[in-house]
Amino acid sequence: MVLKNNQRTLVFLLSSIGLITFPHFWHIPLSIITFFYALLLWRFIGIWKSHWLPHKIIVLLIMLGGIALLLNHFRSFLGRDAGTSLFVIALALKLLEIKKDRDLYLICYLAFIVASSQFLFGQSMLMALYILLVCCALFTSLIIINSQQSKPVVAIKKSATILAQALPMTLVLFFLFPRIQTPDWVFLNDTNTNAITGLSDTLDPGSITSLALSPELAFRVKFENNNIPPPRQRYWRGPVYSYTDGKRWTESQQYINPSYMDTPKYKGKAYKYTLLLEPQIKNWIYTLDMPAQFSSGLYKNPRHQLLTQKQSNNRREYQLVSYPHYNTGYITKAEFRENTQLPYPASQKIITFIKQLKGFNSSPEDFIKTLLDYFRTEDFYYTLKPPLMKQKPIETFLFENRRGFCSHYATTFVYLMRVAHIPARVIGGYQGGEFNSIGKFLEVRQADAHAWAEVWLENKGWTRVDPTAAVAPERIERGVDINKQIAQGLVNFMSINNSNAYSWFKKSHQLLQSLDYNWQRWVIHYDTGNQANFLSSLGIKNLKIMLYWMMGLIGFITLCLTIYLFKNNDTSIDKASFYYQKFCKKLAKVGLQRQPNEGANDFYTRISQRFPTQKHQFKVITALYNQQRYGKQPTKKVLQQLQKTVNQFKIKVNIK
Amino acid sequence: MKQLKLFLKKLFKRHYLDKKSVTLNHKRIYILPTQRGLNFALLVALLLVISFVYNNNLAYLLSFLLASVFFITILHTFKSLAGLIISVSKAHSAYVSEDVVVDIYLDNPSILERFNLTLNLNNTKTIDLPATQKRLVTLNSPTLKRGWHYCEPITLACQYPFGLFKAWSVLHFEVKALVYPKPSTENNPFPELAGEQAQQGNITKGHSDFYGLRDYQEGDSIRDIHWKSMAKGQGLHSKDYRGDLLTELWLDYSQTFGYDSEQRLSQLCRWLIDADNSGLQYGFILVGLTLQPSSGSCHFKKCLTALALF
């Protein structure tokens, strides 16, 4: 049996289901999406041509087809992608079999599951808004099922109102509902395509250049008390490249026993901050040089780099403390060996060059200074498009081209140090970051990727030296102007005066970024740890108090809502009835009861026959009541008049 | 299930009756989730599990949103009934095994439009009630016995907006109606008149010849009203017939036949209806009650009432 008068319901329901599944176009195999939309279209046509709908046996065949499709793609029903596809296929099949209202409900419920599965693929603010709208459409369908007569506009309004009223309670539940850390179950680990590449584990001179044109976000940092380090201290330390084959630099695979190492001493001002790291392929964490304290789940390797214990495909948040001034202490033999490694003996040309700069005779500090001065005074250029240096890159760069990007300067510098027997290594990471004045956080993008050097010095330990700063100090002081750099493909730094032509553009951009940051922090990234932090900052210390608060707030919201909903009901029209009832009660006392099927006018005729002397009073009250209840515009004035006349009204029984 | 229903019936049974008109408020409205509502709760639980497994905060947010909507729906479902004024107007008399028709007025004094109000007695009626409107709903109550018939409680229920909850109110109005005996289906002739040889079909009508007009009296048959004079604005007049009263028809209980009193009453009822339909003048004799020959709806009603309450 096909439901009658149900076309509108079906049109609404099917359209909202089409909308709900739409974003899966980008997530699940095209064949499954095509399968879904084909069946949806079929069902849509079936609304008007019900004899076109498939027979039971054909539905069974289609179902087998769907299962085959699923198995062909995933070979299982578990996991995010397979599970989502399963629900999409189930929804499509159920569409072909709508017989009762119950089926419509089942379809709605399946659609809610599909809507929820959208979030497993992306959690942007836009997606959340989209799903909220689609949920509103689904609830509207439910309303239309339950009131065939109501107009769609009324139903949409009703469902939107209920959703809006549900929001405060949703937020309370969201922030106070106890979160339990999910165990990382193996079978659910799908590969995440959203992870960004970032720095690679080999550093060849071109590797950072490609990043310099990427506006992609790397991470965001919020400093406690807005205590932000000056630009020249904003070095975000990442991988340590200490092994070289003469052309490329990679992380060393050697084992260094941390128990032989000195413990670093930290001095000066501490920076406490929260790092919100975009999904990464590597388990590297970028920290302000040099991290001292870090949240659990992280560890520090002997090269002072922070790493996550488990690789995570999600955006993660970390609490960190860094000190820009530190002393790592003595160097172990293994470290020394690792950081003076050279692939082959240096060429005569290099040795002569170092000798010229008195590299072998003077102290390391002096040599570093002379070398940096050399970079500064000679005609070295900082450029995004250096000429290719395939053979002997260091010599070519140093003696012939003299054009290079930060990686060229860093690798060359470290190489020269090592030839001069000074332990040195290349550090990869990011430098700078744009301060978002609206959200008060620092935004670091891929274009901020940078490479610099670390040199081990007596009494100072590992010391950061940035040869790029000698060639292009603006890079360090002002940072990269990413938009311009991308537009022109050339190195571009932030201009000094901020009042440039597109500052409003910048402002709105910052506003969006700030919104997104807070969205990430408060919604996407709100987990067990954050919940504990956030709630304890509000004075909620343990689970029991948390539950009390949750119950209390929900109770409070319910109370407010109840008052709001039922106060609204008490309109002046209602009051007109109230006063009229009062009038009727007065008459009932003398035996004149208004019958339920008796209109106000009929009642008036009857009572005026009985009490002709008060006919006028009856007339006034009846007219006022009719005007207020059935008139075009009930007004306060009429109501007050009615109230007054009713209150003054008395039956003069003695006249009988 | 049946036992549970009986238990619930017992639980909600009232020992007093409602007044003629009842305004629905929190004391009168019950709310429970429907089967669909329970399924919705399961859906929310499933979404919570998905959010937990994938540690996905937006999925959590969606689950919480649905849970909140579920909760708030209680208020909205309640609101869809609250404030309605339901009153019983009249229960129409019927013959046994016919349904007593009960007139019920549903009044919506608020500016809120009400949807899908379901009234249930023996049959179910679903209506929408726009703001500040009053609507007449007729419900049926089946009859089994002659005499006073008391209707079962009336249920007013509503599942608007989402069908997840059902709000209902049971109304124990005192709705009573007279149930007349079931007219016999046997076509027995009118009782023979004492001393006369009147035969079926040979009974002369008591008013074959038009005599004149007289003032309308309560109880005169509608058939006899002189509509022409009424249309002229001269008031109600009845046509008076003075035929030769050849026979007087007496419908007498003692002249009925049957196994038991019910069957005899049923026969008497048939005669009454036939006599009234053919506009005869008839007298009525029941044990201990004699009504002089007359005609008209009032007389007819009187006789039927006597039959019902016999």
Q: Based on the fold, state whether residues B15 and B124 are members of the same structural domain.
A: yes
Residue B199 confidence (pLDDT): 42
* Chain B, nearest residue to A522 by Cα: B57
Residue A245, CB-side half-sphere exposure with 13 Å CA sphere: 7
> Which DSSP string corresponds to chain B?
-HHHHHHHHHHH--SS-B-SEEE--TTT-EEEE-HHHHHHHHHHHHHHHHHHHHT-HHHHHHHHHHHHHHHHHHHHHHHHHTT-EEEEEEEE-EETTSEEEEEEEEEE-SSS-EEEEEEESSSEEEEEE-TTEEEEEEEEEE--SSEEEEPPPEEEEE-TTTSSEEEEEEE-B--EEEEEPPPPSS-PPPPPPTTS---TT-PPPTT-SEEEEEE--TT--GGGB-HHHHHTTS--EEEEE-------EEEEGGG---SSHHHHHHHHHHHHHHHHHTT--EEEEETTEEEEEE-SHHHHHHHHHHHHH-
End of a domain among B180, B199, B216? B180
Chain B residue numbers with beta carbons less than 8 Å from the beta carbon of A113 are 43, 46-47, 50
C-alpha–C-alpha distance, residues A368 and A416, integer Å: 10
Could you say which of B59, B131, B162 has the minimum Cβ distance to residue A143? B162
Q: Based on the fold, state whether residues B116 and B34 are members of the same structural domain.
A: yes
Chain B residue numbers with beta carbons less than 8 Å from the beta carbon of A314 are 55
Measure in Å the smallest separation between the Cα of B289 and chain A Cα atoms: 33
What is the interface size between A and B, counted as CB pairs within 8 Å?
Answer: 169
Q: Is the pLDDT of residue B209 over 70?
A: no
Give the pairing type, strands B249-252 and B282-286.
Answer: parallel
Measure in Å the smallest separation between the Cα of B88 and chain A Cα atoms: 7
Chain B residue numbers with beta carbons less than 8 Å from the beta carbon of A573 are 109-111, 131-132
**Cβ–Cβ gap A174/B64 under 8 Å:** yes
Q: Is the pLDDT of residue B26 over 50?
A: yes
Measure in Å the smallest separation between the Cα of A636 and chain B Cα atoms: 15
C-alpha–C-alpha distance, residues A333 and A423, integer Å: 11
Give the tens place of pLDDT for each residue, A97-132.
Answer: 888 888 999 999 999 999 999 998 888 889 999 999
Residue B201 confidence (pLDDT): 42
Chain B residue numbers with beta carbons less than 8 Å from the beta carbon of A630 are 132
Measure in Å the smallest separation between the Cα of A438 and chain B Cα atoms: 25
| Residue of A127, A147, A569 best to disrupt the B interface, most CBs of B under 10 A | A147
**Cβ–Cβ gap A185/B53 under 8 Å:** yes
**Cβ–Cβ gap B68/A170 under 8 Å:** yes
Q: Is the pLDDT of residue B284 over 90?
A: no
Could you report the predicted ipTM of this complex, rounded to two decimals? 0.78
Residue A653 confidence (pLDDT): 66
Percent of chain B with pLDDT over 90: 23
End of a domain among B180, B202, B235? B180
Task: Report if residue B261 sits inside a domain.
Answer: yes
Which range (A430-439, A471-480, A608-617, B75-84) has the least confidence?
Answer: A471-480
Q: Which helix (H) or strand (E) holds A633?
A: none
**Cβ–Cβ gap B40/A109 under 8 Å:** yes
**Cβ–Cβ gap A143/B116 under 8 Å:** no
C-alpha–C-alpha distance, residues A205 and A409, integer Å: 9
Where in the sequence is the domain holding B125, given as residue range(s)? 11-180
Give the pairing type, strands B30-33 and B165-171.
Answer: antiparallel
Could you say which of B50, B112, B115 has the minimum Cβ distance to residue A116? B50
| Mean pLDDT estimate for chain A | 83
Q: Based on the fold, state whether residues B40 and B153 are members of the same structural domain.
A: yes
Q: Is the pLDDT of residue A497 over 70?
A: no
C-alpha–C-alpha distance, residues A479 and A464, integer Å: 18
C-alpha–C-alpha distance, residues A199 and B173, integer Å: 81
The answer, for B69 touching chain A at a CB cutoff of 8 Å, is: yes
The residue written with tokens 């976000």 in the block is A217
**Cβ–Cβ gap B163/A113 under 8 Å:** no
Residue A546 confidence (pLDDT): 87
Measure in Å the smallest separation between the Cα of B106 and chain A Cα atoms: 10
**Cβ–Cβ gap B110/A597 under 8 Å:** no
Cis peptide before B109 (omega within 30 of 0): no
Q: Based on the fold, state whether residues B170 and B267 are members of the same structural domain.
A: no
| Residue of B36, B85, B105 best to disrupt the A interface, most CBs of A under 10 A | B36
* Chain A, nearest residue to B86 by Cα: A596
C-alpha–C-alpha distance, residues A495 and A506, integer Å: 13
Measure in Å the smallest separation between the Cα of A73 and chain B Cα atoms: 21
> Which DSSP string corresponds to B196-250?
S---TT-PPPTT-SEEEEEE--TT--GGGB-HHHHHTTS--EEEEE-------EE
**Cβ–Cβ gap B60/A174 under 8 Å:** yes
Chain B residue numbers with beta carbons less than 8 Å from the beta carbon of A119 are 56, 58-59, 62
Percent of chain A with pLDDT over 90: 20
Residue of A318, A298, A312 lying closest to A530 (CA atoms): A318
Residue B203 confidence (pLDDT): 44
Q: Based on the fold, state whether residues B135 and B20 are members of the same structural domain.
A: yes
**Cβ–Cβ gap A596/B21 under 8 Å:** yes
* Chain B, nearest residue to A573 by Cα: B110
**Cβ–Cβ gap A143/B105 under 8 Å:** no
**Cβ–Cβ gap A170/B64 under 8 Å:** yes
Which range (A86-90, A529-533, B133-137) has the least confidence?
Answer: A529-533
| Residue of B39, B42, B68 best to disrupt the A interface, most CBs of A under 10 A | B68
Chain B residue numbers with beta carbons less than 8 Å from the beta carbon of A527 are 55, 57
Q: Based on the fold, state whether residues B61 and B143 are members of the same structural domain.
A: yes
Q: Based on the fold, state whether residues B152 and B285 are members of the same structural domain.
A: no
| Residue of B40, B44, B51, B64 best to disrupt the A interface, most CBs of A under 10 A | B64
**Cβ–Cβ gap B54/A120 under 8 Å:** yes
- For residue A308, what are its two tokens? 């996550």
pLDDT band at A544; cut points 50, 70, 90:
confident
Task: Report if residue B226 sits inside a domain.
Answer: no
Measure in Å the smallest separation between the Cα of A532 and chain B Cα atoms: 16
pLDDT band at A167; cut points 50, 70, 90:
very high
CA–CA–CA angle A17, A23, A26 (5° rounding): 140
* Chain B, nearest residue to A593 by Cα: B20
Task: Report if residue B139 sits inside a domain.
Answer: yes
> Where do the structural domains in chain A lie, given as residue ranges?
7-176, 202-507, 528-534+542-568, 572-655
Give the tens place of pLDDT for each residue, A57-101.
Answer: 888 999 999 999 888 888 777 778 888 999 999 999 999 888 888
Give the tens place of pLDDT for each residue, A298-327.
Answer: 888 888 888 888 766 667 788 899 998 998
Give the tens place of pLDDT for each residue, A151-165.
Answer: 788 889 999 999 999
The answer to whether B251 and B275 have CB atoms below 8 angstroms apart is: yes
Torsion of CA A568, A570, A574, A580, to 10 degrees: -170
Residue A206 confidence (pLDDT): 60
Q: Which helix (H) or strand (E) holds A10?
A: helix A7-21
The answer, for B89 touching chain A at a CB cutoff of 8 Å, is: yes
The answer to whether A637 and A599 have CB atoms below 8 angstroms apart is: no
Q: Based on the fold, state whether residues B287 and B167 are members of the same structural domain.
A: no
Chain B residue numbers with beta carbons less than 8 Å from the beta carbon of A174 are 57, 60-61, 64
Q: Based on the fold, state whether residues B29 and B112 are members of the same structural domain.
A: yes
The answer, for B90 touching chain A at a CB cutoff of 8 Å, is: yes
**Cβ–Cβ gap A116/B59 under 8 Å:** yes
Residue A187 confidence (pLDDT): 44
Residue A13, CB-side half-sphere exposure with 13 Å CA sphere: 30
Residue A36 confidence (pLDDT): 94
Measure in Å the smallest separation between the Cα of B244 and chain A Cα atoms: 43
Could you say which of B65, B71, B109 has the minimum Cβ distance to residue A577? B109
Strand partners, A436: A441
pLDDT band at A517; cut points 50, 70, 90:
confident
pLDDT band at B175; cut points 50, 70, 90:
confident
Residue B204 confidence (pLDDT): 43
**Cβ–Cβ gap B65/A166 under 8 Å:** yes
Measure in Å the smallest separation between the Cα of B99 and chain A Cα atoms: 21
Instruction: State the distance between the two ends of chain B, measured CA to CA, in whole angstroms.
Output: 40
Could you say which of A105, A132, A162 has the minimum Cβ distance to residue B76? A162
B 100-119 → A contacts, CB under 8 A: 103, 105, 109-113, 115-116
End of a domain among B180, B201, B216? B180
Chain A residue numbers with beta carbons less than 8 Å from the beta carbon of B63 are 116
**Cβ–Cβ gap B111/A571 under 8 Å:** yes
Residues 6+ apart with CB under 8 A from B222: B297
B 19-58 → A contacts, CB under 8 A: 20-21, 36, 39-40, 43, 46-47, 50-58
Q: Which helix (H) or strand (E) holds A299?
A: strand A298-300
Total number of domains in chain B: 2
Which range (A385-394, A583-592, B84-93) has the least confidence?
Answer: A385-394
Q: Is the pLDDT of residue B27 over 80?
A: yes
